[in-house]
Structure 1
Amino acid sequence: MVQDYSAAHDGSTEPARPEPGFPFSAIVGQDQLRLALTLCAVHPGIGGVLVRGEKGTAKSTVVRALAALLPPVVGDDGSRPARLVELPVGATEDRVVGSLDLEKVLRDGERAFQPGLLAAAHDGVLYVDEVNLLHDHLVDVLLDAAAMGRVHIERDGVSHSHPARFVLVGTMNPEEGELRPQLLDRFGLAVDVAASREVDTRMQVVRRRLDFESDPAAFAARYAAQDEELARRIAAARDALAGVELSDTELRRIAALCASFDVDGMRADLVLARTATAHAAWRGASAVTEEDVRVAAELTLPHRRRRDPFDEPGLDPQQLDDAMRDAGEHVDDAMRDAAEQPEPDPEPDPDGPGGGAPEPESGDGGDTSARSDDPADRPDERERPAPGRAPDRPAAAPSAQFKTRLLTIPGVGEGAPGRRSRSRSPQGRVVRSTTEPGRGLHLVGTLFVAAEHQVARGRTDGRMMLAPSDIRGAHREGREGNLVVFVVDASGSMAARDRLSAVTGAVISLLRDAYQRRDKVAVITMRGSAAELVLPPTSSVDVAVRRLRSLRTGGRTPLAQGFLKAREVVLREKVRDPQRRAMVLALTDGRATGGTDPVRRAKVAASLLADASVASVLVDCESGMVRLGLARELATAMRGAYVRIDELSAEKVAGVVRAGAAAFAA
């Protein structure tokens, strides 16, 4: 959606001015968010802002208010206000980057390009609400355009390029799922917002909102002078940006700071330098100082510290203080060395004294891999159960994680966009043209078919003549995210053999894979006399990891209850989200215990999963010299794929496991 003037609805030809939006100056609190948006307005090359926060924290209000502060866009037709372009989550790639102008093709037989939303956002604001729900390939397109300032299109026989400099702002609620770390890094700045817990602040927020709703024009007029002053400062800072000096001293401070946080690549260094320069220009200073670097680091580094998808975001102020102090010492040492040794030292001889690897230090800093701080790993300190109770103790620490092989559901679905199983998707790539309705119009296929008949149809005036039989639909294929229900055996038979460490390590590896493939997950544990749903279906996969790390083990193995609980979760979720296909991933040694004939009951419950058309994979965790092979029998009963736990690693075994297949083929 492009916000601009629109024609009046009363029949007049005069343009109707829309109702004023909430003024930027009237926002209460959210100082860091307002500063981040302002700096990106001063220097769009920073790469945009990602706003993370709970619902109802004025994320959208602040972003929409920013557009009114941007300098007007000057073009061949004069000047116009900067636009706010909103990109809907369901937008297609054609709508975002542009496509062939169908009207000109059909009317004039001329190949022409019709710009998309990126062109409309030039010199304005491109706003993506719920950016974490946007398809990954569209996020890549947006971030590439924001970084390059131009869009290049090579498609449908058209080659086109146009400028696309805009302030990119994405908002998201972390409870609905996170962005991949690779995409997090592509956003220049990130800000976490939350509602204030101060009563006076909350009262002020409500009062201003009610005043605005009562009379938007009067409320906007009250803050017009402050907004005009902000707009003037942004324009002045933009003009002064090129003249701001970034000295080698501050550049060294920036490099040392990024190195101390061990960020990947060089993007953080570049963004931090641009942000510090923009902050200096915003202050009206002629050179970057340590203060500018500190402010820029608070906005640039928090989201780049997530080395793992399940790391907590954020930046501890004390940690930043320590890093700034260390960076300052590095700068001081470099300046002192430069003063004492004006001439550069020759390169050291790698084979000379001091050229070898440093000797390891002796003392207490040696290998501690054999030690453990977990009481569960020390037999004399393990929690002893009361008489008549099943053993109950924390699970051992998860083993090392690994990249898992791809587990997919057979067939082609129509679920939410993701990266796991094949699906028919309006956002997917065009595979071919089809005579069926398809997913949209296959324009090139339609024109090629029509071109063969132009002479026979008597085309004389240059216009292409179409017939209904020419129309070709687009057959699109993409990937969908699935619901993955983990059924984890946490019984005594697993813990007694210290196998649960390997199992939890494997589950966390599979959860990481689910995170990257945009799945929803649920976690069921089996221990004692019941199966427990410890995590209902959610897109916040990192919550599943936290629950799993606090898992307790012990007791019998109620496999039948676990499979029945999984079936119940899948069927209930199917009512809420009927298009999302489900896969049950059970990790067990297959040794059902408790009750009468527990193995037979487990097989019956497993067959009920198959009867409900639920795809499944059973991961056999049995180890040791003597193996009963019960897990394979359960996999056969549920008509699912069977794989041993040591075959989950993508490095060890290549191939795809398709759930629902009775036989497993590597």
Structure 2
Amino acid sequence: MPSAVTSTPHYPFSAVVGAEDMTLALVLAAIAPELGGVLVRGEKGTAKTTTVRALTALLPDVAVVDGCRFSCDPVSPDPGCPDGPHAPSAVRTDRPARLVELPVAASEDRVVGSLHLGRALADGVAEFEPGLLASAHRGVLYVDEANLLGDHLVDVLLDAAATGRTRVEREGVSVTHASRFVLVGTMNPEEGELRPQLLDRFGLSAEVAAPRDPRTRVEVVRRRLAYEADPAAFLADHGGAERELAARIADARARLGAVRLDDAMLLVVARVCAGFDVDGMRADLVTAQAARAHAAWRGGDTVAREDVRAAARLAIAHRIRRNPFDAPGIDEDLLDELLGDEQPPEPPPAPGPDDGDSDGDGDGDGPGGGGEPPQSSAGDSPADPPPTTGSSTDPPTSSVDPPTSSVEPPTASVEPPTSSVDPVETTPDPGPPAATPVAAGPAYRPRLFSLTGTGAGADGRRSRARTDRGRTVGSRRATPSESGPVHLLATLRAAAPHQQARGRSTGSAVRLRPSDLRFAVREGREGNLVLLCVDASGSMGARRRMEQVKTAVLSLLLDAYQRRDRVGLVTFRGPGAELVLPPTGSVDVAAARLDAVPTGGRTPLAEGLRESVAVIERASRRDPDRRPLLVVVTDGRATAGPDALGRASAAARDVAAAGIRTVVLDCESGALRLGLAADLATDLRADHVPIGEVAASTLTSTIRRVRAGSRRTDPAASRRIVDGTGRVA
């Protein structure tokens, strides 16, 4: 099995410019691996992966039992190690700490390990081949785009993170081994959020964004170009700073056990966590551990308020989001209030690229280039960013954060006039009151709209699909060079009739051939593309109706997040249709776009349907296995252009001919109803659901009414149910 262990040298950690929160979180996780790892959230192109890969060069070497595939500690080997038991006299060897990268498309067999097929087929021996979790033991497990990780791999990581062990029970193999690692994940929030269970397992989190200060951006580009032009020379220039950082991390690790956390500081930690209303006690534990690690990092022997503040900023922010529509981050004013009267000192302003640069390289660090800011004789300020953030060109806080003048109106603009003239006569006519935006009501649990048949898309929770996990429903013959979950019983059944012809004797191993190999066929659930086509024309402008529409769409977006779907948003109004949000996994972005959708104008229903088909076709070319679900939110009216209703009906028949599964949410209300949305659903061959019946609670009451009426009229009809698509089955 090819190794996923990263061993090639990378861009040096000490040369990273900016990103103080990210680098501090990674350093604290390196000092105290029991924190549970780090999640880095940020836009693309912000050096997330570069920084994570650079961290391993700073980690101390790991002592292992020579020849053990599971990296057992010679001092305290795992008593249940599959390669053990290890004698006290076992040969010890030191090796560099590993960074094991877990691809988002990896199979479960590759991650946890599986039966060694080569040995099984050639020698008839059931031998376990370790997976990536075994390689990552006592090292770093890195997941790029962690939010795109399949549910089957998330479940595996949750088990390993909770127990510190990996258990494999499959294909006749029963193995358990130690699996403790620093879990580091990076993600772009635009591609969707992380499952809450996995999010909570990351001890720390950090937000990273590209610097807005031009000098800092220039320094980032200058350093990267220098590294790409001559990596060896660049690494040599920063070798001194790398060694100094590695020594400082090793020293902090050694001192961590002696750092004292007294009851007064524990009370501060508890007050902060309670004040932010976090769930459970993990936030308290992680904040306390991170505060001790921060104190060791700055050279202290007692945890102070500054340590608690630095730890809370990294340990709490990702635990206070109740749903994916909540904004990330932490209220630092509230944090300072909860910490008490003692405020952390302001960090000193960082010099610019022209300040104190004696060697002309822009570092400001003189010859040797390490990028570490000057230290005072008293040691680092606990609130200062760690020196790993690279350069003296890092801008002061004001160069990254927007100036206060950009977000606060001038005081003169809100003060009343001081003139002695009667204000009633001088105040201009305000005109008609501005229309206030229509806000959605609280989201509810909608009924399940799923696709018929069995798909083969990415893991999710909406429609039936053939997947790599789930219940086994059969077997299939393996093709050459193919990998997958082995169906052991089916393989043995295929080989059994040929044993005599192959010369197998009594008591000898089963003789297998590649043609005997069978893979399991498993059925689970897939995520779909949910495309919302929303009528934003003037007929939808009534406040009550638009509030109902936004609430229903918001509930569907939340449901799509929970079912691991991708979502897109098309609106139609006025002269045509617009793709407001291309298909994405980020439902919070979709919700924000929905809030900004204007209403008014005529109703180009045909254009909305045709734009939806075009979006689905483009998405299918990129991901042909992800099946689409089109949700049309409309009252069925069409008023734009000649023969608007006829063109809408023709467009609907084209959607039906394309085989696109569609649901029509009927927004028509009032005593007089035209029933146009129901006619549209007929042309689309779609389910017709009044928007007031989207909620799952409404579906439950409908089932009860149907059953109650059936018992009174037709006893045999009491067996009928209403399925999740709104149809009566």
- The answer to whether the aligner puts 1:609 opposite 2:655 as a matched pair is yes
User: What are the equivalent positions in structure 2 for 1:53-452 lying under 5 Å apart?
Assistant: 53-77=42-66, 78-325=93-340, 395-426=437-468, 430-435=472-477, 440-449=484-493, 452=496
Which residue identity does 1:440 align to in structure 2? G
Summarize the Cα distance change of 1:215–1:536 in structure 2 as closer, same or farther, 3 Å threshold.
closer
Which residue identity does 2:665 align to in structure 1? V
Summarize the Cα distance change of 1:574–1:399 in structure 2 as closer, same or farther, 3 Å threshold.
same
Summarize the Cα distance change of 1:472–1:566 in structure 2 as closer, same or farther, 3 Å threshold.
same
Structure 1 residue 145: deviation in Å? 2.0
- Correspondence for 2:637 among 591, 596, 605: 591
| Whole-Å separation in 1 of the counterparts to 2:143 and 2:634 | 43
Q: Matched residue of 2:26: which SS?
A: helix
Which residue identity does 2:438 align to in structure 1? A
Provide, for residues 83-135 of structure 1, a one-character-per-residue CA deviation record: whole Å limited to 9, x for no partner. 11111121011111111222333344343322110110111111111111111
Length-normalised TM-score, structure 2: 0.75
Which residue identity does 2:538 align to in structure 1? G
- More moved, 514-523 vs 454-463: 454-463
| Whole-Å separation in 2 of the counterparts to 1:382 and 1:38 | 54
Which residue in 2 is equivalent to 1:21? 10
Which residue identity does 1:248 align to in structure 2? D
- How many residue pairs match? The answer is 591
Which residue in 1 is equivalent to 2:26? 37
Structure 1 residue 602: deviation in Å? 2.5
- More moved, 465-474 vs 67-76: 465-474
Structure 1 residue 638: deviation in Å? 0.2
Q: Matched residue of 1:586: which SS?
A: strand
| Whole-Å separation in 2 of the counterparts to 1:190 and 1:466 | 50
- Correspondence for 1:554 among 600, 603, 608: 600
| CA RMSD in angstroms, aligned pairs only | 2.8
Which residue identity does 1:157 align to in structure 2? G
Gaps of 5+ in 1: 6-17, 329-379, 384-392
| Whole-Å separation in 2 of the counterparts to 1:502 and 1:144 | 41
Cα pair 1:439 1:474 within 8 Å, conserved: no
Q: Matched residue of 2:452: which SS?
A: coil
| Whole-Å separation in 1 of the counterparts to 2:229 and 2:254 | 38
| Whole-Å separation in 1 of the counterparts to 2:157 and 2:722 | 31
| Whole-Å separation in 2 of the counterparts to 1:608 and 1:447 | 46
| Whole-Å separation in 2 of the counterparts to 1:66 and 1:446 | 46
Structure 1 residue 450: deviation in Å? 5.2
- The answer to whether the aligner puts 1:631 opposite 2:646 as a matched pair is no
Structure 1 residue 639: deviation in Å? 0.5
Cα pair 1:643 1:664 within 8 Å, conserved: no
Which residue in 2 is equivalent to 1:534? 580
Q: Matched residue of 2:632: which SS?
A: strand
Summarize the Cα distance change of 1:68–1:614 in structure 2 as closer, same or farther, 3 Å threshold.
same
| Whole-Å separation in 2 of the counterparts to 1:501 and 1:469 | 61
Provide, for residues 8-27 of structure 1, a one-character-per-residue CA deviation record: whole Å limited to 9, x for no partner. xxxxxxxxxx7532222222
Q: Matched residue of 2:589: which SS?
A: helix
| Whole-Å separation in 2 of the counterparts to 1:409 and 1:651 | 21
Which residue in 1 is equivalent to 2:380? none
Summarize the Cα distance change of 1:112–1:575 in structure 2 as closer, same or farther, 3 Å threshold.
closer
Which residue identity does 1:61 align to in structure 2? T
Structure 1 residue 302: deviation in Å? 1.5
- The answer to whether the aligner puts 1:665 opposite 2:728 as a matched pair is yes
- More moved, 280-289 vs 630-639: 280-289
Which residue identity does 1:418 align to in structure 2? G
Cα pair 2:291 2:308 within 8 Å, conserved: yes
Structure 1 residue 241: deviation in Å? 2.5
- The answer to whether the aligner puts 1:458 opposite 2:493 as a matched pair is no
| Whole-Å separation in 2 of the counterparts to 1:50 and 1:488 | 35
Cα pair 1:53 1:193 within 8 Å, conserved: yes
Q: Matched residue of 1:498: which SS?
A: helix
Summarize the Cα distance change of 1:65–1:529 in structure 2 as closer, same or farther, 3 Å threshold.
closer
Summarize the Cα distance change of 1:500–1:417 in structure 2 as closer, same or farther, 3 Å threshold.
same
Summarize the Cα distance change of 1:29–1:492 in structure 2 as closer, same or farther, 3 Å threshold.
closer
Which residue identity does 2:203 align to in structure 1? G
Summarize the Cα distance change of 1:218–1:556 in structure 2 as closer, same or farther, 3 Å threshold.
closer
| Whole-Å separation in 1 of the counterparts to 2:47 and 2:577 | 41
| Whole-Å separation in 2 of the counterparts to 1:326 and 1:531 | 56
| Whole-Å separation in 2 of the counterparts to 1:281 and 1:123 | 21
| Whole-Å separation in 1 of the counterparts to 2:124 and 2:478 | 25
Structure 1 residue 426: deviation in Å? 4.2
Cα pair 1:272 1:293 within 8 Å, conserved: yes
- Correspondence for 1:474 among 516, 520, 532: 520
Summarize the Cα distance change of 1:443–1:564 in structure 2 as closer, same or farther, 3 Å threshold.
closer
Which residue identity does 1:38 align to in structure 2? V
- More moved, 74-83 vs 594-603: 594-603
Summarize the Cα distance change of 1:431–1:188 in structure 2 as closer, same or farther, 3 Å threshold.
farther
| Whole-Å separation in 1 of the counterparts to 2:56 and 2:31 | 12
| Whole-Å separation in 2 of the counterparts to 1:656 and 1:290 | 58
Structure 1 residue 395: deviation in Å? 4.9
| Whole-Å separation in 1 of the counterparts to 2:723 and 2:676 | 20
| Whole-Å separation in 1 of the counterparts to 2:168 and 2:236 | 43
Which residue identity does 2:492 align to in structure 1? F
Summarize the Cα distance change of 1:115–1:597 in structure 2 as closer, same or farther, 3 Å threshold.
same
Structure 1 residue 476: deviation in Å? 2.9
> Sequence identity of aligned pairs in percent?
56
Summarize the Cα distance change of 1:458–1:37 in structure 2 as closer, same or farther, 3 Å threshold.
same
- More moved, 255-264 vs 176-185: 176-185
| Whole-Å separation in 2 of the counterparts to 1:147 and 1:227 | 33
Q: Matched residue of 2:185: which SS?
A: strand
